[in-house]
Amino acid sequence: MLKQSIATLLYALSFYVGLAHAQVLDRIVAVVEEDVILERELNAEVAAISNKLNSSNVMVPPEFVLRKQVLERMVVDKLQRQMAAKSGIQISDEMLNASVADIAARNGLSVDAFRSELARQGMDYKSFEDNLRNEIIINQLRGREIGARVKVTDAEVQHYLETQSKAGQSGAQYHLGHILIAVPEGASASAIQKAKDKADQVIADLRGGKDFKQVAVGISDGDNALKGGDLGWRGIGQIPSLFTDIVGTMNQGDVSEAIRSPSGFHIIKMLETEGGSQHIVTKTKVRHILIKTNELVDDAEAQKRLLALRERISDGDDFAALARAHSDDKGSAINGGSLDWVGPGALVPPFEEAMNKLAINEISAPVQTQFGWHMIQVLGRESQDNSEQFRKDKIREEIRKRKIEEETELWLRRLRDEAYVEIDLDRL
């Protein structure tokens, strides 16, 4: 009753505000629990999505269809933000700035240059930050609600390897398209049949030549609908389990039959496929001496101490003995500073970058990381075919991603079905 009265009050307020102004700028298009979505917010999001679709050469569906799809995504986003707020999830400005810097760096730009590029493309930087903050919040919420519960056992990895071997598959990758015709929990038999009929008609249209991306944007209830239903490239272990048997029998361009799940009826299209490859990894045997900075030892003093130790080693002193006596990394100091054999990604980037530039037995100049200042010596390198372990690790991650995706789909559907949402269809 409380939610109903809030909804009634909100609509009443919007009505009386409309009477008071000649032009109504902030009309309510949806009530989502105790919050609302305004028409100007919907208009802005529809415009942004239309631009993305146009730039991707995807035909924009009729306005009513697009507005309905966009509004549904906004409703689900708002429900997740509400849950995140109740859970106490907050993103600091420092975390947001770090994420912006990371995105800029991955595009080969400084933060200032990245901002300029956004402006050149007509994108408002504040809106970009707001969207990024929202994305980080939702990712943290999903990690807490779903990711923390998902585990992958060694038995699952081994079962997958055995299954893949029997199927004659070796690291194959699949580029899939996906459409979901949703069925609410507890739906009647007639509602389920209606959804099945709709799915069958969609399949017939796709096999008849209709553009997959355009159809997905127009009718899919999946989380990736506004991306044209594109699931991206995936290994077999990363594909939702109810699709795996079907995917192995599909050729490029094939459209599946309707696949039933608790969420509804799924349709997949094989967009592209490619095979696997060998994975060679270079391991490095390395040791170091660490000097940490503190109130008594600043950066200059730490570097001075390492340079003095480097001079002593050049004069014949033993690196291992000096590491045991002087290194602040007590875990490795007891072993003469040895970190043993390490593979790519095992060490922090500044350390790894300096290490990779050293010749065998060469000793580095002082190198700074978040742990302090290091002096590094490389004792050996070896390249080996790490394909089997790499494959297992990749499979484990793919299975985990697939499990998270399946759980997320059910979680979002449940979140939407259980929430109080009232939509003003006249505003669409």
Taking the alpha carbons at both ends of the chain, their separation in whole angstroms is 26
Report the pLDDT value the prediction gives residue 19, as an integer from 0 to 100. 40
The larger pLDDT score, comparing residue 61 to residue 332, is at 332
| E-state strands within 195-248 | 230-235
Residue 357 · residue 376 · CB < 8 Å: no
Q: Looking at domain 280-385, does it have CATH number 3.40.980.10?
A: no
| Closest by Cα among 199, 184, 77, 194 to 138 | 77
The model's pTM is 0.54
> How many Cα atoms within 13 Å fall on the side-chain side of residue 72?
21
Q: What DSSP letter does each residue of 6-23 carry, written as one string?
A: HHHHHHHHHHHHHHHSSS
Is 332 a residue whose pLDDT tops 70? yes
CA 35 to mean position of chain CA atoms: 27
Listed in sequence order, the residues at least 6 apart from 370 whose beta carbon sits closer than 8 Å to its beta carbon are: 348
Q: Is 123 helix (H, G, I), strand (E, B) or coil?
A: coil
Q: Which residues of 277-307 are buried (b: 16+ CB within 10 A; e: fewer)?
A: eebeeebbbbbbbbbebeeebeeeebbebbe
Instruction: Return the pLDDT at 166.
Output: 53
Please check whether residue 104 is in contact with residue 114, taking contact to mean a CB–CB distance below 8 angstroms: yes
Confirm if 390 and 276 have CB atoms less than 8 A apart. Answer: no
In the predicted model, what is the mean pLDDT of residues 251-274? 90
Q: Judge whether residue 62 has pLDDT over 80.
A: yes
Least confident of 32-36, 172-176, 389-393: 389-393
Confidence tier at 169 by pLDDT (50, 70, 90): low
φ, ψ for residue 280, nearest 5 deg? -100, 130
Integer Cα distance of 87 and 141 in angstroms: 8
State mean pLDDT over 49-63: 85
**280-385 has the same fold as 170-277+389-422:** yes
State the pLDDT at residue 279. 60
Q: Rounded distance, CA 258 to CA 210, Å?
A: 17
Given a cut of 80, whether residue 350 has pLDDT beyond it is yes
For range 259-270, the mean pLDDT? 93
Q: What is the pLDDT of residue 16?
A: 38
Tokens for 61, please give them. 């569906």
Lowest mean per-residue pLDDT among 127-136, 285-294, 322-331: 127-136
**Strand residue runs (E) in 152-275:** 173-182, 230-235, 259-261, 264-274
Sheet (strand 421-423) strand order? 35-38, 28-32, 421-423
- Taking the C-alpha atoms of residue 294 and residue 369, their distance in angstroms, rounded to an integer, is 14
Q: Give the dihedral of Cα atoms 342, 347, 353, 359; nearest 10 deg.
A: -30
Tens of pLDDT, residues 135-156: 999 999 998 889 888 888 989 8
Predicted confidence at residue 165, as pLDDT, reads 59
Q: What is the mean pLDDT of the chain?
A: 86
Q: For residue 265, give the amino acid letter.
A: F
Give percent of the chain above pLDDT 70.
Answer: 90
Q: Are 143 and 137 in contact (CB under 8 A)?
A: no
| Amino acid identity at 307 | L
Strands in 33-185 per DSSP E: 35-38, 173-182
Rounded CA-CA distance 73/56 in Å is 20
Question: Taking residues 261-283, what's their average pLDDT?
Answer: 80
Averaging pLDDT over each range in 43-52, 81-90, 204-213, 305-314, which range is the top one? 305-314
How much is the average pLDDT of 271-280?
68
Residue 342's pLDDT is what?
A: 92
Two tokens, residue 57: 């050469």
The pLDDT of residue 386 is 67
What confidence score (pLDDT) does residue 385 get?
Answer: 65
pLDDT at 217: 92
Element (H, E) at 95: helix 93-106
CATH architecture of 170-277+389-422: Roll (3.10)
Q: What are phi and psi of 343, to 5 degrees?
A: -100, 175
pLDDT tens-digit profile of 5-19?
Answer: 444 433 444 443 444
Report which of residues 398 and 419 the model is more confident about: 419
**101-125 residue pLDDT tens:** 889 888 888 889 999 998 888 888 8
The closest of 60, 71, 425 to 217, measured between CA atoms, is 60
- Domain locations along the chain: 170-277+389-422, 280-385
Lookup result for tokens 């015709």: 181
Distance from C-alpha of 283 to C-alpha of 365, rounded to nearest angstrom: 21
How many whole angstroms separate alpha carbon 364 and alpha carbon 362?
A: 7
Angle among Cα 427, 47, 26 to the nearest 5 degrees reads: 40
CA 188 to centroid of chain Cα atoms: 35
Question: Residue 69: what residue type?
Answer: Q
* pLDDT for res 368: 93
